[in-house]
């Protein structure tokens, strides 16, 4: 049976567009139709503008027929997490605070996608200001996991992962501060990459924790993720943390990098709390790499146990500062019942922010306050260095690390909402890569007995995305997990 259009890989869409056997209008209409059919159950989007997407598609078709195609992404639908500024479109960040905000400008990632001819299709749901692991913190509505509608899709880029799994888009963009691209990718059975810190511009990405945030490409195959990464990566003078370093041709680099690799298994990532079905799938992936001639090396990252605590000090500290800008004056929600300027700040923030965002602002303000700064924030920064050093030592012996992405498959809606700590532990295997600035990729590596996807994580040296992609691709080509589709 041939795959319906809405489940095509981006590389296939691209090839068919180039061959003239498919138009951008057809593929865009296909994802629109699919979205109409399933979105009442999945609820991956916060906003859709069908007419706008179709107009972009027709413009792409016109360019192509006049011989002026902009390259492999020209005409391919790409959907954006509602945290990336796109001129003229809503930018809610899943928050009441920005419920009526329309972006006046394009983020650099969006500008690059436009320059590549991508059809920008809709805005995707997320945990409020990217704080969460289940998309239940969205002020708009929760998103369902397409594999089991009673379960969460992961977060905070839950809309980006669910839309792909449900066939509502061809490629999506997420953001990853502590795992928000990789964890939902794992829980929805798709591929997600958090690039090296500095690889992709953060200009126009609404800031959560600036020293950890990175934009990440998501797709239904490794090749698709490589294609999208190539389009958005690169230096940007408007983001001082973006690195001026050439962007490889990822598709070519991936094919040249043939291994065999030295694969590290950090023992701290296989301890208590790892779901047995996830463990078994990851162990089968280890066996696969061994059969491919890779050397499997046990390594230790001894400071792993401090990662969650360190992250929740640094991330909340930065968030408390970044979110100070929402004061009811310049952006977003403005309280109607305030009495004077100070009250306006209080009321607007009290009404505009949700519970988890408030919790983080309070925590972040506390760890930065005089008397506690040294005990918490400064110490967390030192531990962050230790965590990074652990990785750098491991990378003297191995080419990349292999771990589970999430300790558990998708959990039920409501299961962890009353327990913030349980929610925070969803990112136990992903946050260290953000603290250390490393690239990390999640790809499907199996299913649980009850049909939930399981994700495998590959962590690499800074700027070693080509090797991660190559190793992931090797696995993907020998397995068909990524080709399974949920029944919706």
Tell me, yes or no, if 335 is annotated catalytic: no
Tell me, yes or no, if 413 is annotated catalytic: no
* Residue with smaller CB distance to ligand GLN, 103 or 160: 160
- Shortest Å distance, C-beta 427 to ligand GLN: 5
Q: Is 441 in the site for ligand GLN (CB under 6 A)?
A: no
* Residue with smaller CB distance to ligand GLN, 163 or 294: 163
Residue labelled with tokens 């997420």: 174
- Shortest Å distance, C-beta 211 to ligand GLN: 13
Contact region for ligand GLN (CB under 6 A) — 130-138, 226-234, 286-294, 296-304?
A: 130-138
Q: Is 156 in the site for ligand GLN (CB under 6 A)?
A: yes
Alpha carbon dihedral 115, 118, 119, 121, in 10-degree steps, equals -110
Q: Please pick, from the candidates 135, 177, 281, 310, the single residue that binds ligand GLN as defined by CB under 6 A.
A: 177
- Residues 313-372, interacting with ligand GLN (CB under 6 A): 315
**Largest alpha-carbon pair distance within the chain?**
70
Catalytic residue among 14, 60, 79, 81: 81
- Shortest Å distance, C-beta 234 to ligand GLN: 22
Calpha distance 13→480 (Å, rounded): 19
Residue 157's contacts (CB-CB under 8 Å, 6 or more residues apart) are: 81, 124, 126, 130, 172, 174, 175, 176, 180, 181, 184, 192, 216, 218
Q: Please pick, from the candidates 117, 132, 142, 409, the single residue that binds ligand GLN as defined by CB under 6 A.
A: 132
Residue 163's contacts (CB-CB under 8 Å, 6 or more residues apart) are: 35, 42, 44, 45, 79, 122, 124, 169, 172
Calpha distance 247→249 (Å, rounded): 7
Closest CA to 2 of 11, 12, 487: 12
Q: How many residues bind ligand GLN (CB under 6 A)?
A: 13
Q: Angle at the Cα of 48 (from 44 to 52), degrees rounded to 5?
A: 145
Which tokens in the block code for residue 368? 């930065």
Q: Is 178 in the site for ligand GLN (CB under 6 A)?
A: yes
Calpha distance 208→365 (Å, rounded): 14
- Shortest Å distance, C-beta 375 to ligand GLN: 22
Catalytic residue among 14, 160, 180, 242: 180
Alpha carbon dihedral 143, 146, 151, 153, in 10-degree steps, equals -60
Catalytic residue among 79, 133, 134, 156: 156
Q: Is 176 in the site for ligand GLN (CB under 6 A)?
A: yes
Tell me, yes or no, if 14 is annotated catalytic: no
Contact region for ligand GLN (CB under 6 A) — 27-35, 174-182, 273-281, 438-446?
A: 174-182
Residues that bind ligand GLN (CB under 6 A): 130-133, 156, 176-180, 208, 315, 427
């Amino acid at each position: 049976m041939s795959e319906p259009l809405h489940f095509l890989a981006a590389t296939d869409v691209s090839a068919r567009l180039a061959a003239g056997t498919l138009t951008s209008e057809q593929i865009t209409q296909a994802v629109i139709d699919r979205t109409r059919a399933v979105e009442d159950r999945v609820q991956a989007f916060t906003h859709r503008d069908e007419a706008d997407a179709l107009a972009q598609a027709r413009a792409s078709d016109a360019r192509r027929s006049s011989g002026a195609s902009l390259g492999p992404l020209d005409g391919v639908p790409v959907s954006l997490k509602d945290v990336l500024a796109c001129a003229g479109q809503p930018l809610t960040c899943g928050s009441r605070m920005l419920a009526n905000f329309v972006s006046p400008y394009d983020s650099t990632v969006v500008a690059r996608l436009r320059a590549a001819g991508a059809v920008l299709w809709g805005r995707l749901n997320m945990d409020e200001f990217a704080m969460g692991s289940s998309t239940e913190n969205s002020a708009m509505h929760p998103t369902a996991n397409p594999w089991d509608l009673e379960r969460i899709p992961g977060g905070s880029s839950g809309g980006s992962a669910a839309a792909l799994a449900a066939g509502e888009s061809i490629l999506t963009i997420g953001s990853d501060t502590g795992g928000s691209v990789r964890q939902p990718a794992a829980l929805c059975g798709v591929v997600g990459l958090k690039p090296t810190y500095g690889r992709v511009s953060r200009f126009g990405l609404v800031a959560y924790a600036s020293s950890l945030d990175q934009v990440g490409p998501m797709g239904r195959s490794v090749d698709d993720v490589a294609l999208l990464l190539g389009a958005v990566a690169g230096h940007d003078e408007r983001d001082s943390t973006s690195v001026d370093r050439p962007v490889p041709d990822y598709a070519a680099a991936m094919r040249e990098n043939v291994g065999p690799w030295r694969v590290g298994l950090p023992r701290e990532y296989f301890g208590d709390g790892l779901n047995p079905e996830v463990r078994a799938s990851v162990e089968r992936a280890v066996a696969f790499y061994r059969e491919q001639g890779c050397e499997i090396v046990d390594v230790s990252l001894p400071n792993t146990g401090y990662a969650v605590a360190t992250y929740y000090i640094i991330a909340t500290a930065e968030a408390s500062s970044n979110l100070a800008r929402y004061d009811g004056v310049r952006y977003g929600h403005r309280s109607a019942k305030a009495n004077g300027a100070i009250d306006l700040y209080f009321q607007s923030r009290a009404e505009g922010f949700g519970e988890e965002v408030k919790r983080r602002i309070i925590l972040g303000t506390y760890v930065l306050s005089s008397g506690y700064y040294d005990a918490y924030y400064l110490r967390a920064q030192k531990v962050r260095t230790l965590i990074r050093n652990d990785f750098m030592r491991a990378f003297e012996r191995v080419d990349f690390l292999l771990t589970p992405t999430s300790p558990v498959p998708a959990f039920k809606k409501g299961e962890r909402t009353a327990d913030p700590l349980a929610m925070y532990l969803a990112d136990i295997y992903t946050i260290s890569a953000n603290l250390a600035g490393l690239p990390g990729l999640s790809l499907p590596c199996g299913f649980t007995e009850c049909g939930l996807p399981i994700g495998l994580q590959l962590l690499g040296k800074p700027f070693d995305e080509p090797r991660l992609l190559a190793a992931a691709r090797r696995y993907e080509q020998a397995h068909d997990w990524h080709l399974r589709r949920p029944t919706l």
